[in-house]
Amino acid sequence: MSTPIASSDLTWLLMDRPNNLMHVHGLLILDELPDWDKLMSAVFDRIVTKYRVLSQIPVQRDGDWFWEDDVDFAMNRHLTRVVLDEFTDETLRQYVSSQFSIAFDRNRPLWEMQLISGPTDDGTGAVLTRFHHGLGDGIRLVQLLLGTCDPSTGAAPGTVGLPGAASRGRLGTVLHVADHSVRDTIDYVQRAGAVAVEAGRNLRASINPLDLQHRFETALDLVTHPVRFIDAITSISSEGNAWANSWREIGRLVLSERADAGAWSGHPSGTKGVAWVAGLSLPAVKKAAKTYKATVNDVLLAAVSLALTQYLREQEVEEVHDLAWLMPVSLRPFDGKLPSSLGNHFAVVLLSMPLGIDDIGELVAEVHLRTSRLKHSAEPAVAFGMQQVIAEVPGSVARALTDFFSDKTIGQLTNVPGPASQLTLVGAPVRTVLGWVPTSGDQPLGVCLFTYDGTVSVGVSADLRMIRDPQRITELVQAHVESIIDSAAALPKPARKRPAPPSQPPADAPASGAAIGRASCRERVFAVV
């Protein structure tokens, strides 16, 4: 059987480089080793028979690419056993690191799973999965990994993807954008007018030549740095102004310079190192997020920001600047069940992470502002459109365009909501679930945040020529997640307001309940406006 390879999948299939392979890795750490024969049967029955692409190979004919059946397909080529000299966290980390630089044989289906254990059957082990990005996006491949586990009520991951996008349709999307553009433009003009009036007053009040010089230097800085200029003119708008946010984020995507830090400048070598930390308390993170009026994602990103800030300072980097990341956003919502098809249905957007902010409250607020502006923008749709264009152009042009955008960023950053309860793999309890995202171009760093069974894990992959100690980064992320939790707990709780006693209407006031209801309604509407 032969099936044309979708352009959105072919882009990633052809994007491999010796120093950055397009592979998505996952790791299940088990409390006991599963039965080998049962594991072989479960993997075959639960995912291989469901997705034909797992038994197919990519073939090019007359300039077109197809998925074709592997006539020699055999499960024992894709599910194998690995026995380490000893099974410890360090030996497991070293082995997983070694797999990141091994390319797939293009004459075989582009995936494999490995059951890893020590020399003695002491009950502990792990399952490493490797899937090529051309098979599907990270979210779906993680779901594929979880699909090998035993069915369990309540173990499905949370819903991911952009809500409402699938139900609107093309016409609905156009009308939605048009409606928001009109309202957002009015909002922007009103705010810009107020700011202009205030700026004029301040300028007239300023008679200090030094102050005027500072204003001139600030204006010159904005003119010579396009991204800062875009930030300045769009910061006037409200947080939810999709029109201004779209211009801001798209301008950043196109005009931003490469975010480069002295500690990891250069070109990746292809030798990878991985590290992880697991078991961070998700309820504690949620509580901290609620205290800071932010999201779980905001808190975790703030912890990554603090970790990288400290790491750069330890590397004696004198100036710590914001770092730009590529962050995948799923365009097709689904609710945790195995999707009906694989493939790539996502866009990568640019997230500018603030660095160098030591005050936790200020940092979480800034992260929340930036992620909120990104959510209320058209960048995911625009980015997906760019990916579709890239997918249709010749390979050399596609590679150049991909490098143009990826080289503006330090790496890939993703947050995956996993199952809320514990999984088992043919009866073996799954203690930890980890994931790693591939990097492209000259990106040296990948960070994957994963929630599972009330815990948070952080997986870091790094090019060892540019970032020599990824383990240190995970240690710092763990420390700063805990510091954010502690700082939130230490904040004074807001005093509860005592309910005001019911006011007594004047003697001549109408006793009509309808009249009172209308008055209350008017007050509420006015307050909202």
- Using DSSP, state whether 507 is helix, strand or coil: coil
Q: What is the rounded CA–CA span in Å between residue 158 and residue 39?
A: 26
How does pLDDT run across 274-331, given as a tens digit for each residue?
999 999 999 999 999 999 999 999 999 999 999 999 999 998 887 777 888 888 776 6
Across 491-495, average pLDDT? 76
Q: How many CB atoms lie within 10 A of CB 109?
A: 24
Provide the pLDDT for residue 133.
92
Q: What is the pTM of this model?
A: 0.74
Q: Which helix (H) or strand (E) segment is 68 a member of?
A: strand 64-69
* Least confident piece of the model among 219-233, 407-421, 452-466: 219-233
**High-pLDDT (> 90) share of the chain, %:** 42
Q: 112-169, pLDDT tens digit by residue?
A: 999 999 988 777 899 999 999 999 888 888 888 888 999 875 455 444 444 444 444 4
Quote the pLDDT of residue 13.
Answer: 87
Q: Map residue 273 onto helix, strand or coil.
A: strand
Residue 452 — φ and ψ, nearest 5°?
A: -160, 125
Other C-beta atoms closer than 10 Å to the C-beta of 335 total 11
pLDDT beyond 70 at 190: no
Closest listed residue to residue 467, CA positions, set 484, 450, 491, 446: 446
Structural class in CATH, domain 1-160+261-492 = alpha beta
- pLDDT, residue 248, reads 56
Q: Please write down the long-range contacts of 170-177, taking CB distance under 8 Å and 24 or more positions apart.
A: 173/381, 177/242, 177/378
- Answer with the residue of higher pLDDT: 519 or 411: 411
Cα-based angle 240, 245, 250 (whole degrees, multiple of 5): 155
Q: Report the alpha-carbon distance of residue 106 to residue 102 in Å, rounded.
A: 12
Which comes out higher in pLDDT, residue 508 or 338?
Answer: 338
Share of the chain above pLDDT 70, in %: 64
Task: Detail the DSSP E strand segments found in 272-344.
Answer: 272-281, 323-330
Per-chain mean pLDDT for the chain: 77
Cβ–Cβ under 8 Å, residues 274 and 89: no
- Cβ contact 485:287 at 8 Å: yes
Least confident of 38-47, 99-108, 329-338: 329-338
The model's confidence at residue 31, banded by pLDDT at 50, 70 and 90, is very high
Q: Residue 108, class by beta-carbon neighbours within 10 Å (0-12 exposed, 13-18 middle, 19+ buried)?
A: middle
88-102, 193-207, 310-324 — most confident range: 88-102
Helix (H, G, I), strand (E, B) or coil at 132: strand
One DSSP character per residue, 227-256 reads: HHHHHHHHTTS-TT-HHHHHHHHHHHHHHP
DSSP-derived 3-state class of residue 375: helix
Segment 181-189 shows an average pLDDT of 48
pLDDT at site 262: 60
